[in-house]
Amino acid sequence: QVRLVESGGGLVQPEGSLRVSCTTSGFTLDYSVIGWFRRAPGKEREGVSCINMNDGSTYYTDSVKGRFTISGDTAKNTVYLQMNSLKPEDTALYYCAADFSCRNYGGHYYYTSPAYWGQGTQVTVSS
C-alpha cells in the first residue's frame, strides 16, 4: 500500500526558509517520479516541483524557480522541498504526490495527475 506522509510545515516570516519532507512507503522510490503540489486559499491546486528519481532530473514551476529545491534520499525513502526566500503568496497546503509525469517545455512546467497523494502540510508565510 502506497503511503506518503508530509511533515515540516509551519509559520515562517517573509524571506525566511523552511524544509518540508515526504516520507514514502509501499513502493520503490528509486524508480519513481515524485513531487510537490500546493493549494493556496481560494485557489486551484498547482504543481510546484517534481523529481525523477531514475535520473535525478528536477522541474519547477516559474514562481518558485531559484528559491525552492527538491531532492530525494532513497536510503531514507524521503523527498524534501527546501524553500528559501519565502513570500506570503507561498502560503498554502503543500501536498506530496507520486506516480505521475512532469517536464519543462518551452520554459513552462507541465505535469499529469498523480496517482497517489499525501494528506498535506500547512506552510504559512507571514510577519
pLDDT level of residue 1 (50, 70, 90 thresholds): very high
3-state secondary structure of 110: strand
What's the rounded Cα separation, in Å, for the pair 86 and 123?
10
Percent of the chain with pLDDT over 70: 100
What's the rounded Cα separation, in Å, for the pair 56 and 103?
12
Predicted local confidence at residue 57, as pLDDT: 94
pLDDT level of residue 88 (50, 70, 90 thresholds): very high
Q: Is the pLDDT of residue 31 over 90?
A: no
Q: Cell numbers at residue 5, please?
A: 506522509
Predicted local confidence at residue 64, as pLDDT: 97
Yes or no: say if 59 and 102 are a contact pair by the CB < 8 Å rule. Answer: yes
Average pLDDT over residues 81-105: 96
Write the pLDDT tens digit of every residue in 52-78. 999 999 999 999 999 999 999 999 999
Across the chain, what does the average pLDDT equal?
95
What does the H/E/C string look like for 47-77?
EEEEEECCCCCEEECHHHCCCEEEEEECCCC
